Amino acid sequence: MDEPIVVGIDIGTTKICTLVARVEGERNLRILGVGIEPSQGIRKGTIVDLAAASQSIARSVEKAQRTSGLEITSALVSLAGANVSSVNSRGVVGITGGVIDEDDVARALEAAQAVAIPHNREIIHVIQRGFIVDGQDGVRSPIGMHGYRLEVEAHIITAAASTVENLRQCVQAAGVEVTQFVLNPLASAEVVLSETERQMGVVVCDIGGGTTDMAIYIDGDIWHTMVLAVGGNHITSDIAHGLRLSIPQAEEIKKTYGHAIELEISDEETFSVRAFGEDLPVQVSRKELAHIIEARVAEIFELVLQEIKRSGYDGLLPAGMVLTGGSSLLPAMRNLASQVMGLPVRLARPENLVGLTDQLNSPAYSTSVGLLYWALLMSETMPVHSRRSSRSGAGGTSVDLEKLKEFLKRLLP
């Protein structure tokens, strides 16, 4: 029981997923507890009803506690919503001793944070992209190098302070402290991207129920992040309007008969539905359903493409796009993405999991599992303890310097 325990709570528009895992070996996780609960009080990734949202979170946490036999006191929490934005910044400091140490790196990152951020926004991540020592760029780790001037290029992610505070309040109402907020696409990227893709240049696109989250990685670092307020719920809503159905009916039909490319469906295929105002079920062409879905999905990918072009990195993505999230499960989604984006596209899901993983091998849980990998970097500070044990902390080990460096590299503050 000496291995650290890590906890992540993925708060999405359609579901809340709490995962508890034990760290085994270097980077292996054994899933001990899973708590999946439908979301309430959350729309497009933001809280619209505090009481309903905190009840959903509490139920999810309780399920995870019950299956793992562990008490959850703190966790990493996912963050999405259209209020998230990012900016690239540069910090410059002089080196007094001639040799660069951790303090100099920390000062440079602090200098990079001195950008004009409105008072109603909160910094979520400051991620270093690279260092420049005395004009020499492309330095990955400057500690121990000789120099007189250190520059750092940082990617700063901010969110509306009120949104972050509401989310924190909901989680605290469920009896859990927030250790750190992690942006959805960054969590997903931990699970779905290979090291080669990160180096070459890739965009990870996580299409959930209420939002589409994207992050661009080049040279192994994060260069751009964005959250778009469209997702799978918009497809469901279009089906409900187009076929005059209730939202639950439309969601069921989307999952059972949905297809993202109209031309791939034959004219003969039909299914029966009971629309509003009809006494008996009516036959609907599956081609008509695909027509409704294709229009919306193409629009989502056009918005993603527009955002990539706006970032200016559209010519730097030879590894293309990695598609994940619950809505990416729609048949032909990958093909349509490739057509619209003009990039190679692959569908990704969490892999190599051990423990209670029956439901988790799906693109819908990439963010949830990714949170645990982020938590790995912080495992020494996770105060989660077992009811069966009298210890007050999860990991009594001293902080590993290499892990600390890796952690500082990934997320500051």
Per-residue pLDDT tens over the stretch 1-16: 567 889 999 999 999 9
- Token pair 């500082």: residue: 408
> What pLDDT does 82 receive?
78
> What pLDDT does 341 receive?
93
Percent of the chain with pLDDT over 90: 72
For residue 35, CA distances in Å to 17, 22, 374 come to: 6, 16, 19
Instruction: Say if residue 391's pLDDT is above 80.
Output: no
E-state strands within 332-375: 345-347, 354-355
- The mean pLDDT value for 288-309 works out to 96
- The mean pLDDT value for 270-281 works out to 88
**H or E element, residue 227:** strand 221-228
> What pLDDT does 386 receive?
30
* C-alpha span between 214 and 212 (Å, rounded): 7
- The mean pLDDT value for 353-373 works out to 90
Structural domains in the chain, sorted by start:
85-159 (3.30.1490.110), 194-347 (3.30.420.40)
> What pLDDT does 44 receive?
87
Q: How would you list the strands of the sheet with 85-94, edge to edge?
A: 85-94, 149-160, 121-133, 136-139
Q: How would you classify the pairing of strands 212-218 and 202-207?
A: antiparallel
> What pLDDT does 406 receive?
58
- The mean pLDDT value for 355-371 works out to 91
- SS3 at position 87: strand
Q: How many CA atoms lie within 13 A of 24 on its CB side?
A: 11
Which amino acid appears at position 350 of this protein?
P
Report the length, in residues, of the chain: 413
- The mean pLDDT value for 343-358 works out to 90
Structure tokens at 376: 């790995």
- By C-alpha distance, which of 72, 157, 170 is closest to 115? 157
Instruction: Say if residue 387's pLDDT is above 50.
Output: no
- The pLDDT-based confidence of 397 (bands split at 50, 70, 90) is very low
Percent of the chain with pLDDT over 70: 90
Instruction: Say if residue 383's pLDDT is above 60.
Output: no
Long-range contacts of 241-248 (CB under 8 A, 24+ apart): 242/288, 242/292, 243/273, 243/275, 243/284, 243/288, 243/289, 243/292, 244/275, 244/276, 244/277, 245/273, 245/275, 245/276, 246/276
